Amino acid sequence: MKRLLLIGIIVLLYFVKFSAAQTKAPVAFGPVPTENQLRWQEMEYYAFVHFSLNTYTDQSWGFGNEDVKLFNPEKADCRQWARICKEAGMKGIIITAKHHCGFCIWPSEYTEYSVKNSPWKDGKGDMVREMAEACKEYGLKLGIYLSPWDRNHPDYGKPEYITYFRNQLTELLTNYGEIFEVWFDGANGGDGYYGGANETRKIDRTTYYDWKNTYKLIRKLQPNIVIWNDGGDRGDLRWVGTEEGYVGETNWSLLNDTGDVPWNMLHYGLENGNAWVPAEVNTSIRPEWFYHPNEDNHVKTVPHLMETYYHSIGHNGSLLLNFPIMPNGLIHPTDEKMALEFGKAVKESFAVNLAEKKKAEASNVRGNANEFGADKAIDGNKETYWATDDGLTTASLTIDLAKPTLFNRFLVQEYIRLGQRVKAFKLEALVDGNWKEVAKATTIGYKRILRFPSVEATKVRFTITDSKSCPLISNIGVYNAPVFLNAPAIARSQSGEVTITTNDIGPIFYYTLNGSVPTIKSNRYTAPFVADEKMEIKAIAYDPASGKSSPVGYEKFDISKKDWKIVGNNEKADALLDGNPSSVWHQRDKKMPIDLVIDLGNNYNVIGFKYLPDQNKWSSGIITNYQFYISEDNINWKLADEGEFSNIKNNPVWQIKKFAPEKVRYFKLRALKNTSGDQVAGYAEVDVITK
């Protein structure tokens, strides 16, 4: 009897000890974020502003020889920028202090190529200071973009330039208060003015800037900063491999601290990486980064921006949204309108958490202790979390909504202070007494948001199906978000047939052909129609059930292509004239240059041309340097324009180039160089601009 009693006591003590061990807080698993990275992650959403000499020359990248006298924004108002960002829900602003052209929008003592020699405020202005003061007034954090590449400076490519670069970096990080992020562009080396040399200079971006010592300087000057760098050394944050506003559905906040980072690693992270390097999604509210008047009708709509939100913040990233500043120094009214409506839409979508403070039960709780119970995931406190016992990599949590509840969004967050763990999960809803799977996904990280068709259910079950270690869930949200109609896409074929489409199911389309804003009293679209003249077409999608209309879709078409012919090429080449951006034709030759010759069928007064590259930016045929020739007889040719398509690989949008009016029947687009350095020229579409 005594022996049995002794055994019982031993067993009891074992379970007490085991239970006590399991109620201890979990230990970190894998790399974890620094305090700086955590502060940055919690910002979620902040702004870029691009403003420089490029704004006045209608360029994407300046060459470095643009006249400083062009910079004279008569209405420049950083307080307007800050107000808009604040009202849109942003937490900070990163200002482009110096882009690739080398022009400084602060009065740097190390160069004459700055605002101190511009007519703006008689050379007494400092745009970075005005931005810092506006951010302070509106409670926003300030960030700095400083291009490592400088197409103006005579020492670029030489060791002396690094001293210049660090001197400017020191100016920016010591004279304007606390800086939350410093941003180094990945474009490095190429042709430039370089103080009058007008030559091409190449550098090894992995070694030239001596990033190790540059980082030491940055962290000494700004201890609370995070570093974004696509220039050859691992910073605190990573680029996601695209400027189109999305990161991978699987998104690990991890990379290896050394070695190459291919696109798939930028886009998805690395599951077993040894360094915490989370994703920042950078994109512009317009197609390009600097202001171009021709983009005034191509500002991203609220539905488009919401898509970006779900594919950035909703995929464990942050969102850095750019405003191109107009030549007068203000954000365009349309950009402001869309940004404010976007901020309102996000706020409305996540205003009411239907799961907060409801009853929750979990399949396993760490030691069955109150400290790590299921309720900690829905208590609204980011510092508490539901945790399971060590060794468990699957678990489920069920939320009782108490009554049939309509919802279409699910938000979940891990307690990332102790690492990112979850590899896969699913979501189920209890509908009429039966469990129905409504969504599933892979990684979570700081924040993951799932979208699905509205479902009415009494319970929600969140099941982790795979995890690297015991999962820690700090927040769960269930929401019924408003649904937005997308602006229609408008396309015109070579024959002049116009189609109007959208990804939404069921809307009715209305359109106009004279540039006026369509209403439900405008022309109703029932089938493709022919419109082969120069015209502006606008369209809306309308949902009769809700009475809601979409934003306006817009396309401006030039002369008809029905008489165009590609000289000397096969029928497959017609893909570049068919009006479909998804169809592509590639020319291959033994060497560059490669010529594309097109017969317009008649003479026209031409003032420019447009080129849309293959929308797969990893294509080998994306043209970067070109010449554009014109002719009336296909015998005598004149060079009308030449140059580069700047940043075309990262941002493969329509490239628009203009020149003095010319009489043209034939044009020749000559590809001099592409992004891959091989002998291929690729085209999704080409077009001309007529007077």
Virtual torsion, Cα 674, 679, 684, 689, nearest 10 deg: 70
Residue 367 scores a pLDDT above 90:
no
In this structure, what DSSP letter does residue 280 have? E
Q: Which structure tokens are listed for 484?
A: 């937005």
256 in helix, strand or coil?
coil
In this structure, what DSSP letter does residue 514 have? B
Q: Is the pLDDT of residue 26 over 80?
A: yes
Please choose, from the candidates 593, 583, 578, the residue with its C-alpha nearest in 3D space to the C-alpha of residue 681.
593
Residues 228 and 134 in one domain: yes
Is residue 9 scored above 70 in pLDDT? no
- What is residue 231's predicted lDDT score, i.e. its pLDDT? 58
Shared-domain flag, residues 432 and 534: no
pLDDT in tens, 41-75: 999 999 999 999 999 999 999 999 999 999 999 99
DSSP secondary structure string for all residues of 539-604: EEEEETTTTEEPPPEEEEE-S--TT-EETT--GGGGGGTSS-TT--EEEE-SSS-EEEEEEEEEEE
Of all residues in the chain, what percent carry a pLDDT higher than 90?
A: 87
Q: What H or E segment, with its residue span, contains residue 643? A: strand 638-644
- Shared domain check, 136 and 96: yes
| Helices 159-174, 211-221: crossing angle, 10 deg rounding | 20
pLDDT band with cut points at 50, 70 and 90 for residue 318? very high
Residue 2 in any domain: the answer is no
In a domain, 28, yes or no: no
Token readout for 689 is 């601009």
How high is the pLDDT of residue 618? 75
Q: Residues 430, 573: one domain?
A: no
pLDDT band at 22 (very low <50, low <70, confident <90, very high): low
- From 460, 479, 498, the end of a domain falls on 479
Name which of 78-82, 260-264, 312-316, 535-539 the model is least confident about.
260-264
Q: What pLDDT is stored for residue 374 in this prediction?
A: 96
Integer Cα distance of 670 and 74 in angstroms: 40
**At residue 554, what is the residue type?**
Y
Question: What is the token pair recorded at 236?
Answer: 């605190």
Domain co-membership, 539 together with 597:
no
Convert the pLDDT of each residue in 625-681 to its tens digit.
999 999 999 999 999 999 999 999 999 999 999 999 999 999 999 999 999 889 999
What pairs with residue 228 in β-bridges? 183, 237
Whole-model pTM: value is: 0.92
The residues that bridge with 361 in the sheet, in sequence order, are 398
Q: For residue range 494-534, list pLDDT tens digits in order.
A: 999 999 999 887 889 999 999 899 999 999 999 999 998 99
- Give the pLDDT band of residue 259 (cuts 50, 70, 90): confident
Residue 13, pLDDT > 60, answer no
CATH code: domain of residue 254: 3.20.20.80
The burial of 521, by beta-carbon neighbours within 10 Å (0-12 exposed, 13-18 middle, 19 or more buried), is given as exposed
Asked whether residue 657 is assigned to any structural domain, the reply reads: yes
The answer to the question of residue 582 being in a domain is: yes
What mean pLDDT do residues 215-233 have? 91
Which tokens sit at 626? 């070109």
8-state DSSP, 174: H
**3-class SS of residue 115:** helix
What is the pLDDT confidence band of residue 571, given thresholds at 50, 70 and 90? low
**CB of 106 within 8 A of CB of 127?**
yes
In this structure, the answer to whether residues 100 and 188 fall within a common structural domain is yes
The answer to the question of residue 29 being in a domain is no
Strands 594-612 and 685-690: antiparallel
- pLDDT given for residue 14 in this prediction: 45
- The percent of residues above 70 in pLDDT, for the chain, comes to 96
Residue 81 counted as domain residue: yes
Segment among 181-190, 304-313, 432-441 with least mean pLDDT = 181-190
The CATH number of residue 637's host domain is 2.60.120.260
What residue has token string 């579409």? 685
| Half-sphere exposure for 99 (CA within 13 Å, toward CB) | 23
In Å, what is the CA distance from 536 to each residue of 297, 314, 690?
11, 35, 14
DSSP characters over 120-164: GGGGT--HHHHHHHHHHHHT-EEEEEE-S--SS-TTTTSHHHHHH
How much is the pLDDT for 12?
45
Residues listed for the chain: 691
**β-pair partners for 670:** 595, 627
Residue 502 belongs to what domain range?
489-557
Whether residue 2 is predicted with pLDDT greater than 60 in this model: the reply is no
Burial of 399 (0-12, 13-18, 19+ CB in 10 A): buried
What is the per-residue burial (b if ≥16 Cβ within 10 Å, else e) of 43-60? bbbbbbbbbbbbbbeebb
What is the spatial distance between Cα 33 and Cα 239, in angstroms, rounded to a whole number? 17
Q: Which of 650, 622, 620 is nearest to 242 (CA)?
A: 650
Report how far residue 353's alpha carbon sits from residue 312's, in angstroms, rounded to the nearest whole number: 21
Confidence label for 3 from pLDDT (cuts 50, 70 and 90):
low
Tokens of 635: 């015998």
pLDDT tens by residue, 126-144:
999 999 999 999 999 999 9
Residues 148 and 43 reside in one and the same domain:
yes
Q: 191 with 290, same domain?
A: yes
Q: Picking from 16-30, 46-60, 224-238, which range would have the lowest pLDDT averaged per residue?
A: 16-30
Q: Are residues 157 and 303 in the same domain?
A: yes
Kindly state the tokens that stand for 512.
């106009």
Q: What is the pLDDT of residue 620?
A: 82
Q: What is the structure's pLDDT at 646?
A: 94
Q: Is 286 exposed, middle or buried (0-12, 13-18, 19+ CB in 10 A)?
A: buried
CA 570, CA 161: separation in Å to the nearest integer?
Answer: 50
Is 373 found in the same domain as 345?
no
- Contact (Cβ atoms closer than 8 angstroms) between residue 62 and residue 644: no
In Å, how far are 190, 440, 641, 686 from 601, measured between CA atoms?
38, 54, 22, 15
Most confident option among 310-319, 524-533, 610-619: 310-319
Phi, psi angles (nearest 5°) of residue 155: -95, 0
Cα R_g (the chain), whole angstroms: 28
In a domain, 7, yes or no: no
Mean pLDDT value of segment 358-372: 90
CA distance 477 to 521: 41
Are both 598 and 685 inside the same structural domain? Answer: yes
Q: What is the DSSP string of 371-429?
A: GG-GGGGSSS-TT--EE--TT---EEEEEEEEEEEEEEEEEEEE-GGG---EEEEEEEE
Grouping H, G, I as helix, E, B as strand and the rest as coil, residue 621 is coil
Question: Residue 20 is encoded by which pair of tokens?
Answer: 């006590």
Report pLDDT digits (tens) over 450-487: 999 999 999 999 999 999 999 999 999 999 999 889 99
Together in a domain, 640 and 682:
yes
Q: Which of 448, 479, 510 is the last residue before a domain boundary?
A: 479
Domain count of the fold of the chain:
4
Query: The domain that contains 514 carries what CATH number?
Result: 2.60.40
- Those residues whose C-beta lies under 8 Å from the C-beta of residue 218, and which sit 6 or more positions away, are 169, 173, 182, 225, 227
Q: How far apart are CA 594 and CA 355, in angstroms?
A: 61
**Is residue 484 domain-resident?**
no
Domain termination residue (choose one: 526, 557, 588): 557
